[in-house]
Each structure stands twice: as structure tokens, then as C-alpha cells.
Amino acid sequence: MSNYDIIIGLEVHVQLQTATKLFCGCSTQFGAEPNTQTCPVCTGMPGTLPVMNRKAFDLAVRTALALNCQIAPFTKWDRKQYYYPDLPKGYQISQFDLPFSHDGWLEISDPKGKIEPKRLRIQRVHLEEDAGKSMHDEVAGSADSRIDLNRTGTPLLEIVTQPDMRSPAEAKAFLTELKLLLTYLGVSDCNMQEGSLRVDGNINLHVHTDAGKIATPIVEVKNMNSFRSVERALTYEAERLWDVWQESKQKLGDVPKQTRGWDDQANITRGQRHKEESSDYRYFPDPDLVPVTVSSERVAEVQSGLGELPAALRTRLETSYGITPYDSDVIVNQGRAAADYYLAVADGVADGKLASNWFQQDVLRTLNDRSLTIEQFGVPATALVALLKKIKGGELDNARGRQVFAAMLDQGLSADAAMQALGFEQVDESELVALCQEIVAANPKIVADVKGGNAKAAGSFVGMAKKKNKNVNPARVQEICLQLIAQM
Amino acid sequence: MSMIHSTATQLLQELQASRLSSVEITSAYLDQIERHDPRVGAFLRFDRDAALQQARAIDERRAKGQPLGKLAGLPVAVKDLLTSTGELTTCASKILANFRSPYDSTVVAKLKAADAVLIGRTNMDEFAMGGSTENSAFQKTHNPWDLTRTPGGSSGGAAACVAASMTPLSIGTDTGGSIRQPAAMCGVTGLKPTYGRVSRFGLVAFASSLDQAGPLAWTADDAALLLEVIAGHDPRDATSVDAPVPAYSQSVRQPLAGLSLGLVREHFAAGLEPDVEQAVREAVKVYESLGATVKEISLPHSKYGVAVYYLVAPCEASSNLARYDGVHYGHRTDEAAMHAELNAKRKQLVAAGKHAEADKLESPLVELYRRSRAEGFGPEVKRRIMLGTYALSAGYYDAYYLKALKVRRLIRDDFDRAFQEVDFVIGPVSTSPAFKLGDKVDDPLAMYLMDIYTVSANLAGIAGISIPCGFSRGLPIGLQLQAKPFDEERLLRAAAMYQTATDWHTKRPTMGK
């Protein structure tokens, strides 16, 4: 039994993929020249007013529903006030006491068995506007900061979980499942490098003592730039908190909440400078915006339009396509487009298992080897269906099937054309029987072995048959030969 | 009657009949500005050439028979709080002294679309905070009726330029009485529209839930004309209301039958000057003679109006003015001097071995904010930012801001009840006529209490108008009529009825030479 439990909660910021910003008409496209996607509204010019982008709000509702959240019938906008050069209004429009959604959950599981299946609760999801980006030029002597306001006003969803995670691996699993869900919904590309998904973690320990469990002070970990670094940072921080506990015996409430930044190079967290007094954001309702009401009819409408989400798709693959939880997990986790590819192949060939094998061993491997996305993949689902039908029908064995697949992939051929190019053709059944009769007749020793009970000896007929005609189906050769021997 | 003493409505008829040109009219007003504004100080800026160029262009279009806007050729002055593309919009503040707006406010855009001649930008209390225009960072405005007195405020320039016949029409803004009070003190007509009637887009925010732009002019007819142009729904202002705009100028001369007026018991209490009370009661009699019934009503929560106002408005202001930080635009402190001073201080502390104190020195960024804002804002603006920041702070929010919002609701409920009984609430605008310049600058509380009759309309979001109703020792007195939301059409007709029966609104200050 371990000495402590790790308690983790996450705060995830996700940029919503809208054409325009939350409160003005500027584009949200990433990567444009600095300060080219701005207008008087998002640069906070005197006299300007925000107007809510209803599409962004609808997209937020869609996400919250997919996270099993309750949608508030009435929600409002609040100003969160602080000074920073990339916040041109001196406040961020956010949601404080009445977020548009609350009390949801997301299930994590891992068929590989690294973590137990678990339902993680979500405390709230709210919508806010993003700030701009500060670029600090640290050149000695000429320290200079540059501000890019292109990002200012981009719709940002803040998802706050309950402290339900008990290990860094669970935190990573939550993020992985969340990202998958968001990409299935098509609301975000979740690109951490471009900042469209950002994660902060809150962590402390519940130390087991003779007097029961004691909670240590909570630390907020920032600057985690990948899911992997989330896992590593939280693992490091849990160990550090254990060391601190052993030294200081500090309990929750003894010291103010600390903020630490993860250093991906040094593999450590570092305390961030913070003022003694906790910041007071002086939240108050934004008088420039009107409250938003959401009817139950609207909620039902969005709910019905959600489409099939990852968890449901996994279940469907297991029950209707007869594949294992492990296989369905692999397929679903590839994303919606790849899963759709699998579904098209499995439906076309009417064999979920065969499609799953080929999808994982051949399609996915090719994608990985060549760093392709499924959209860039050269063999359309219909073409793969044609190939798998030939394999399923016995026209090709797996080995030859793979050769055909390779030709289809590299030369962009159909299954038939690839077979023709390779000189593969189906051998006529009567021809095949005649060929088998010839071999059997010529090899009385093997026939005797088989008759003596060593059925495996028939395997050597396959090689002989192939020498005579490279297109023969090995399984069929063996079958026919055994039948002929049985009749002898 | 001379050109500059005509009403906008009369001038428009002359223009439309081509008996007068916009160049002639605009020149006459510009002459008046050049002659008298050095002593009045109503305008922060005006540009003779630019104004005449606009006038000439409109005259040319008229000559060609091209379609023209509703105000075609009429000069309109704009309070320096509404943005206009490429032009300075200073809010009478040092912090925006060099700010040129990259966009048009909706009000200015509508004036341009109506072919008004934008004749100049008027003085005001800094960021519209004040009741005497003495809080302008740039100049004092003098009351045209007595140059030793204030024109009221915050739209003091907007009211004074009409009173001094420097323009027939003027745009002000009203957050707690800033159109009605200076209108009263300058003896002109000023209307604060219902919240949401006129777009706030481009009106530099003081208190967002209270601000409204509105017209100032000699008569209700002229105010109707100007309101008709600037009112209407604006998709860029989420708080503007999508309700049709009546043709105010067409109906304004139709008298109202069966008019009922409510005289507020609480308005006639200590503090109201006898001359003002007398004038208001006389005005009530005029209405009675026109067939109105008058009854006494009560607005029990109106006594909390000033207290509520001085929480709600500063709270919103403290937030709205956070953007003036010297980073993106506006006044920024002398950075080189600041860095030199910070470095010297740090060196000095380090040399004295005071490392802890050296560490406590603010970062250059925080220092830049502090200095830019300290240098850029005047004392009244700072006072309100501090009031609002305090009231919104953790631990105080519920007791101050939240409580104020609750009482604000009760004030609105009072009016809703009143308007079930009467068509309009009638009463004074201000406790006294214009006071001496400098009289109240050291007593902010006395200044705040001037707003007692006007703030409730802003808190309740209803419409209010101030019309001249008499004089006290040569100084104009204003009569206030307040109407339920979006009842401007009838409010203007009621004001016009009074102006048909009286001639207070025709009086002009002599202005000396």
C-alpha cells in the first residue's frame, strides 16, 4: 500500500473553431502576420462594444452537451479585470458565477489495462474571450516585448474538472479522451503547439497517517505543452510534494496556493513569482452584453445533432462488428475520419474482424510509416473492400493480398489492376484439381505419411503446386490434396 | 429674426426652398463661434474650412437635385465623447489628448448619412464625469447667460453652443443628467432618450448601463428632428433595442389630448430653490390650462437615487476606463525618464544594502501603468475610479454593487407604477439655476447632489426631457418631463405643447459684443 493518494484536477482551455471571434467579426485563423486580424472592437478602442457571436455560443453548448453537462437556461457575461499588455480592454469577458453549463462527466478507460475505467466529473464549462499573445524579447540590454492581438477575442472554452484523477496517467487519459471527443465534434483542432488547447493542473496529496488522511497544500502546475509533459510534470510534482510533506508536514491551508511552471528541458517544476495577496479580479456583470437564454427545446435540438461520439462508437464496433474492446479502442482513437474509413471497409466486405485486421496492420502501419493522415491515404475504402472480398472469397491468400495492397498503394491501382500487374489470376477449379491429382500421384511417400496420420505432411504439396502454377491458392491446394488422399 | 436665431426646423425649410444655402448658414454660425467662443469656451475644436467644405458639397448636391439626408446642410455640434473617423476624440481628458479614432460612432455615422454639417467638437467634463464642465482637462466653458457661471455638465459645451447660437443642433450624452441639467442651466431643450433607443457604439463609455446620447436644441421640434436621425437599432450595440423609430418630427406638433401628469411629492423637499419650485408650479398650471390633469404621486425610492448612482456609475467607470493604460494608445509616461529614475532608485537601495526594498520596487510595466494613468486622468476621474474599484473589490461587492443593483430595480418599479397612473412625471431638473464657476469644485458631494432629479431616469432606463420654463435673476430654469420607455414620441409632443403656449424657449442671451 502506498503512502499517499494523488489528487488531481484539471483546467483545460480550448479554442473553438469558429470563423470569427467571440465578440467581433475578425477572423480567428492561426498564423497570420501579427496584428492583421484585429478591429477597433478586439483591440479595445474607446467606444467600441462587444456583440456575442451566436455560432460560438452554439458550438460551446454542443461541446458541453457532449461532456454530459447541464445547460443553464440563463447565463450572463462577466468582466474579469486585470492589467496586462495583451489584454487591451483591461478586462477579459468571461463567465463567473453563472457559467452556461455545469456538472458533466467524461469516461476514461484503457483496454490495455494501464488504468481502470472511470467516470471523471466536470465541475463547469464556461465560455470566454482569449487574450492576445506577448512575445518577450530577452536580448540583454534591449529587452523588448511585442504584442500580437490576432488571438484577442478568439472564443475559448474553459473546462474545469472535479479533483477526480488519482494519477498522472489518469490525467493524461482524460486529456486524450477529451481531445478525441472535441475532434469528433469538430469544435477544435486541439493543437497544443498553436495554443488551441492549454492545460493547467491542480495537484495535492492525501497522505496516509495513523490519524487518517491528511491533505497537503494545493499546487497549480502551468506551462505543460503536451499531454506527455502533463503526465511527466504531474508525476514530478507528486514526488516533490511527497518530499515537501516529509520535510515540512504542511497541511492544506497552512500556506497559500502555489503556482509552479513545468520546465520541459530540465524536467522539473519551478515556483513562479507571485504577489503575497491573492489577485482580486473584481468580477461584475458586463453591462455591454445582454444575458443569454437557452430553451430546453434548443438543448434537445443540439443534443440530437451531436452525432455519434467516441464512447458510443466503441460500443457499436464491439457489438455490431464483432471486434474486441482493444481493437475498437484503437480504431476509434484514430479519429472520426479514420473510424469512418474502417466502417466503410467493414460494411463493404461484411466482415468487421477482417476489416479490423487490415485496418490496423496495413492501413495504420502505412499511415504511421509515411506520416500520412487518413485523408491523404492513397487507397480508398472501396478499393480496399474489393481487395478484402477477394481474400475473403479465397481468391487471394493474405501474403498475396499484401502484395496486391502494396501495388494498389504505390501505383494507385484498383485491386484487379494490381493483380493483373503482378500476374496474379485465379486458377480454374478443374485445372487446380488436375494439378493436385498429378502431384499426389507423383508422391506416394507423402501420401503414405498423410494416411499414417501426419496431415501436416500435405503442406509440402503447396510448394510443389506453386512451382507448377504460381497463381494457385495454397489453402485450396492443401484441401484438394487431402480430399484426394482420403478417397484413395 | 436673424439666421442664427432661427430654429433648425425653420432653417431646414429655408434650405429645402433654396432660399438659404448651407454655406450661408454654416458661415453665420462659424462667425458666431469665432466672435463669442473665445469667451464661452463651448468648442474644443472647430474647423471653418472643413465645415464649409461639407456645406458646399451639400449645396452642390442640392443644386443638382440629388437626394439628400434629413438634416442636409444643417450644422450639428458633437460632444467630444463620440468617435469620428480620423478625428481627435479626447473625452476632454489628457489621457486621450492625442487619440484619433479609427472608426465612426454610430451617431456620427448617422449624422453624416443625414448630410449634417459637423461643425465642431464640444467641451465636457472629463469622460462625462461632472456637472459643471469644470472637469475638462483643457478649458472651462462659461454659461452664455452669465459668463461667471457654469453651463452645467457634463455636456456643458453641447448646451452652451446652442444657447450662444453657435449651432442650431447639438449632440450630448446623459449618464446621470448630463444632457438635461446643462440644457436647463443654458435655457435650451435637451432630451435623454430611453436606454437602448440610440446606439452607444462609439460613445466612449463612462457607465455603460446608463449612457445615452441625445439631442440639444432650442425647441422640442428641433430635438425631434435630431432624435429621428440618431435613434434606432444597431447590431453593433447589444443593448440597443430593435424597435421602430417613429417620425418624431412629423408628429411633434400634434397636441396630446387627455394628458395626465404626475407631480412627485419627494421632489419638493428641502434643497429646492424657491424660484425653481415657483417656475415648475407655474409650468404645471400651463399644462392644466391645456387640459392636462395633474396628480401628486410618490417615487418612494427616488431618495436613494444619488447613492445608487454613485455606486453603479463609478463601478462601471472603473472597469470601462481600465483600457487607458498607456500601452496601446493615448498618453504614455516619459519612459526614458521613468527607467532612469527606477534604475537610480534601485542602485541607491542596493548601494545602501537594502536589497529587500530594491526587490520590492515595481516592475517597469506596473510603473508605466501607474505613471501613465496618474498623469493622464484628472482628480474627479481618479476619484470615481477609486470609488468603483473599492466597491467592486472582493468582500465589498455584495454590500455595495449588488445592493445598489437591487435598489436600482426598486427605482424602476416606482416609475413603472407611476406610469400606470400618469403619462408623464413632471418636476424640476436641478435644485438651482447655474452656479458660479469654482463654487463647488472643492465639494464633490455638493456637486453629486445636484444630480438628484436626473439620475433616476438613467437608473430606470426611461426617457426624460428638459425644457426652459422661466428665469431666476436672469438665469434660465428647466422643467423636466419623464416618460415611460420608448415613449419619446409623446414626450416630445408634450414638450412642444408647452412651447406652443409659452415663449421661454425663444429667449436668447444677449452675449454682449
Report the greatest alpha carbon distance in chain B.
85
The residues, any chain, with a CB within 8 Å of residue B244's CB and separated by 6 or more, are none
Q: Which chain A residues contact residue B401 at CB under 8 A?
A: 284
A174 and A52 within one domain:
yes
Query: In terms of CA atoms, which chain A residue is nearest residue B400?
Result: A284
pLDDT confidence of residue A138: 62
Residue A249, domain member (yes or no):
no
Q: Residue B320: closest CA among chain A residues belongs to which residue?
A: A89
What phi and psi values does residue A252 have, to the nearest 5 degrees? -55, 130
Verify that A194 and A73 share a domain, yes or no: yes
Pair A196, A64 in one domain: yes
What's the gap in Å between the CA of A149 and the closest CA on chain B? 11
Return the pLDDT at A142. 60
Query: Are A397 and A478 in the same domain?
Result: no
Question: What's the pLDDT score for residue A274?
Answer: 60
Q: Please name which of A308, A348, A349 lies closest in space to residue A328, comparing C-alpha atoms.
A: A308
Cell of A106: 467524461
| pLDDT of residue A480 exceeding 90 | no
**Does residue B326 surpass a pLDDT of 80?**
yes
What per-residue confidence (pLDDT) applies to A164? 98
Q: Evaluate whether residue A266 is within a structural domain.
A: no
Query: What would the mean pLDDT of B167-175 be, rounded to a whole number?
Result: 98
Task: For residue A81, give the nearest of B207, B319, B329 by CB distance.
Answer: B319
Residues of A in contact with B328 (CB under 8 A): 43-44, 85, 88, 147
- Last residue of a domain, which of A371, A396, A422? A422
Domain ranges, ordered by start, for chain B: 3-236+410-506, 325-376
Q: Do residue A31 and residue A153 come from a single domain? A: yes
- Domain shared by A359 and A376, yes or no: yes
Q: Would residue A220 count as lying in a domain? A: no
- pLDDT value of position B1: 54
The residue from B136, B154, B155, B318 that is catalytic is: B154
pLDDT band at B494 (very low <50, low <70, confident <90, very high): very high
How large is the average pLDDT for residues A177-205?
94
Q: Does A52 touch chain B (CB under 8 A)?
A: yes
Cα–Cα distance measured from residue A67 to residue A157, given in angstroms and rounded to the nearest whole number: 12
Domain boundary, last residue among A263, A297, A331:
A297
What is the per-residue pLDDT across B338-358, written as a single tens digit (0 to 9) for each? 999 999 999 999 999 999 998
Considering the domain architecture, whether residues A18 and A134 belong to the same structural domain is answered as: yes
Nearest to B103 among A40, A51, A280 (CB): A40
Edge-first strand listing for the sheet containing B189-192: B43-46, B117-122, B75-79, B169-174, B212-217, B189-192, B463-472, B475-483, B424-428, B260-264, B293-297
Question: Does the CB of A85 have a partner CB in chain B at under 8 Å?
Answer: yes
Among this protein's residues, is B178 annotated catalytic? Answer: yes
pLDDT of residue B187: 98
A267, part of any domain: no
- Same structural domain, A386 and A292: no
Task: Report residue A276's pLDDT band, with 50, 70 and 90 as the boundaries.
Answer: very low
Distance CA B189, CA B83 (A): 24
Nearest to B208 among A81, A147, A287 (CB): A287
| B103, B369, B397 member nearest A83 (Cβ) | B369
CA angle A304, A305, A308 (to 5 degrees): 90
User: Each residue of A361-402: pLDDT tens digit?
Assistant: 999 999 999 999 999 999 999 999 999 999 998 888 888 899
If you search the block for the grid coordinates 449634417, which residue do you land on? B116
Q: Which residue of B83, B322, B366 is in closest CB contact with A81?
A: B322
Per the model's pLDDT, the better-predicted residue between A484 and B12 turns out to be: B12
Using a CB-CB distance cutoff of 8 angstroms, which residues of chain A are in contact with residue B325? 83, 90
Q: What is the pTM of this model?
A: 0.92
* Residue span of the structural domain in which A459 resides: 429-486
**Residue B158 contacts residue B172 (beta carbons within 8 Å):** yes
Print the SS3 string covering B365-432.
HHHHHHHHHHHHCCHHHHHHHHHHHHHHCCCCCHHHHHHHHHHHHHHHHHHHHHHHHCCEEEEECCCC
Of B79, B112, B192, B440, the catalytic one is B79
Neighbour count for residue B329 (Cβ, 10 Å): 21
pLDDT digits (tens, 9 = 90+) for A222-252: 999 999 999 999 999 999 999 999 999 999 9
pLDDT of residue A272: 85
Name the minimum distance, in Å, from the CA of A41 to any CA of chain B.
10
Q: B154 catalytic, yes or no? A: yes
Strands A258-263 and A219-224: parallel
Q: Does A51 touch chain B (CB under 8 A)?
A: yes
The DSSP call for residue B270 is T
Give the residue with greater pLDDT, A462 vs B454: B454
In a domain, A3, yes or no: no
Q: Which grid coordinates belong to B301?
A: 425610492
How far is the alpha carbon of A127 from chain B, nearest alpha carbon, in Å? 18
User: Residue A139: what pLDDT?
Assistant: 59
Nearest to A200 by CA among A257, A246, A150: A257
The confidence score (pLDDT) of residue B156 equals 98
CA A293, CA A298: separation in Å to the nearest integer? 10
Residue B269 is predicted with a pLDDT of 81
Distance (Å) from the alpha carbon of A52 to chain B's nearest alpha carbon: 8
Q: Which residues of A touch B318 (CB under 8 A)?
A: 282
Say yes or no: A45 contacts chain B, CB-CB below 8 A: yes
Closest CA in chain A for residue B329: A45
Which residue is catalytic, options B84, B93, B178, B318?
B178
Q: How far apart are the first and last CA of chain B?
A: 18
Taking 60 as the threshold, does the pLDDT of residue B488 lie above it? yes
In A, minimum Cα distance to B317 occurs at A287
Q: Indicate whether A435 and A371 sit together in one domain.
A: no
Q: Is residue A368 domain-resident?
A: yes
Which residues of B are less than 8 Å from A290 in CB distance? 238-239
Residues B152-175, mean pLDDT to the nearest whole number: 98
Contact of A184 with A10, CB cutoff 8 Å: no
CATH number at residue A472: 1.10.10
For the cut 50, the answer to whether the pLDDT of residue B273 exceeds it is yes
Mean pLDDT, range B91-99, rounded to an integer: 98
Query: Are residues A324 and A444 located together in one domain of the fold?
Result: no
CB pair distance less than 8 Å for A51 and B204: no
Q: Are residues A79 and A146 in the same domain?
A: yes
Pairs of CB atoms within 8 A across A/B: 97
Residue A154 forms part of a structural domain: yes
Band of residue A9 on the pLDDT scale cut at 50, 70, 90:
very high
Indicate the residue of A46, A50, A288 with minimum beta-carbon distance to B204.
A46
Asked if A78 and A39 sit in the same domain, the reply is: yes
On the question of pLDDT at B182 being above 60, the answer is: yes
Best mutation target, B105, B236, B390, to test chain A (most A CBs within 10 A): B236
Chain B contact present for A80, CB below 8 A:
no
Q: Are the CB atoms for A349 and A383 separated by under 8 Å?
A: no
Proportion of chain A above pLDDT 90, given as a percent: 75
Question: Looking at domain B3-236+410-506, what is its CATH homologous superfamily?
Answer: Amidase signature (AS) domain (3.90.1300.10)
Residue B455 has pLDDT above 70, yes or no: yes
Beta strands B424-428; B260-264: pairing state: parallel
How many structural domains is chain A composed of? 3
Mean pLDDT of chain A: 92
